Amino acid sequence: MRPGCASAPDDLPPVPDLTRLDAMLTRLKLTAIRDQLDTLLAEAARRELTLVETVAFLCEREIARKDERRIEMALGLARFPMVRELAGYDFAAQPAVDKSQIRELATGRFVANGEAVLILGPPGVGKTHLSVGIGRAVITAGYTVLFTTASTLIAQLVKAHAEGRLEERLLHFGKPKLLIIDELGYLPVEPDAAHVLFQLVSRRYERGSILLTSNRAISEWGTVFGDPVVATAILDRLLHHSHVLTIRGESYRLREKRRAGLLGTSGAPSTTGASSIARAPRSPDVPPTLGVS
């Protein structure tokens, strides 16, 4: 008898004892099979699976558990600011958003190709919602994602530059397959900051994807960066292989309030709930220049 095998009649193959089987499954990192072996084998028997079907069934369960773990871990590392899914996006409310284009982005192919995505539009139209939703879908498709806001990213790069650690930070932001940079344009970018941002964009160019959201038209980026030359250099790289989504229309939050009768048709707050609405961001019309010419 081989060590670790329980005794068996001569005409049957030796049955490994359970402790040894457990150790082997642990060594192979087949933990889902190890932890649920009895249940899984009972289910295979109940469904009268053949031996080959049983092995496939066990492998499926192991893969499903590994995928779940990877997704859970990647979602934690992505640092999304809120839980939003593409399934929760009301496309009917936003006809400017092409559902089939979002579905295509959700496959993660743009990440595999190192392409950029720009989501442009006024506040409240769902730019952050879509970027988080796409980010989650991209993780499910098997890639790593990091979400940051433009102001956090720039502050970290500038600080690292001042402390002589720029390379380290560029590596950090260069690592994820998809880097989501939310809210470019809310704050002006100082010239030295624009320069470090350019370094990051060039480093990721054609190697990793960037998804960027902005409330400013591309034609205004010269002003956002305070330097048209750097703005052009950044845009040149971002737009080379890119998908540009321009969302027009009113803020979803204001729309919901209007539907609930809290706002008049003019958008001016009515008497009830006026204080909270008054603080909500106004939605300027998207300038006609918004988009790629």
Binding residues vs ligand ADP (CB under 6 A): 84, 88-90, 93-94, 121, 123-129, 252-253
We find the least distance from the C-beta atom of residue 91 to ligand ADP, in angstroms, to be 7
Nearer to ligand ADP by Cβ, of 45 and 96: the residue is 96
We find the least distance from the C-beta atom of residue 124 to Mg ion, in angstroms, to be 8
Nearer to ligand ADP by Cβ, of 123 and 176: the residue is 123
Distance CA 191, CA 182 (A): 19
Using DSSP, state whether 82 is helix, strand or coil.
coil
Contact 245, 98 (CB under 8 A): yes
Per partner kind, with CB cut-offs from 5 to 8 A, the member of ligand ADP, Mg ion, none near residue 209 is none
Nearer to Mg ion by Cβ, of 127 and 255: the residue is 127
Nearer to ligand ADP by Cβ, of 125 and 235: the residue is 125
Give CA angle at 82 (79, 88), nearest 5°: 130
Nearer to ligand ADP by Cβ, of 123 and 208: the residue is 123
We find the least distance from the C-beta atom of residue 138 to ligand ADP, in angstroms, to be 17
By the rule CB under 5 A, 128 interacts with Mg ion: yes
Contact 102, 86 (CB under 8 A): yes
Per-residue tokens: 170: 């560029």
The residue at minimum Cβ distance from ligand ADP is 126
C-alpha distance across the termini of the chain, in Å: 77
| Rounded alpha-carbon distances, angstroms, from residue 292 to 199, 217, 285, 288, 289 | 23, 9, 17, 11, 8
By the rule CB under 5 A, 149 interacts with Mg ion: no
We find the least distance from the C-beta atom of residue 32 to Mg ion, in angstroms, to be 38
Nearer to ligand ADP by Cβ, of 170 and 178: the residue is 178
Per partner kind, with CB cut-offs from 5 to 8 A, the member of ligand ADP, Mg ion, none near residue 133 is none
We find the least distance from the C-beta atom of residue 94 to ligand ADP, in angstroms, to be 4
Binding site for Mg ion (CB under 5 A): 127-128
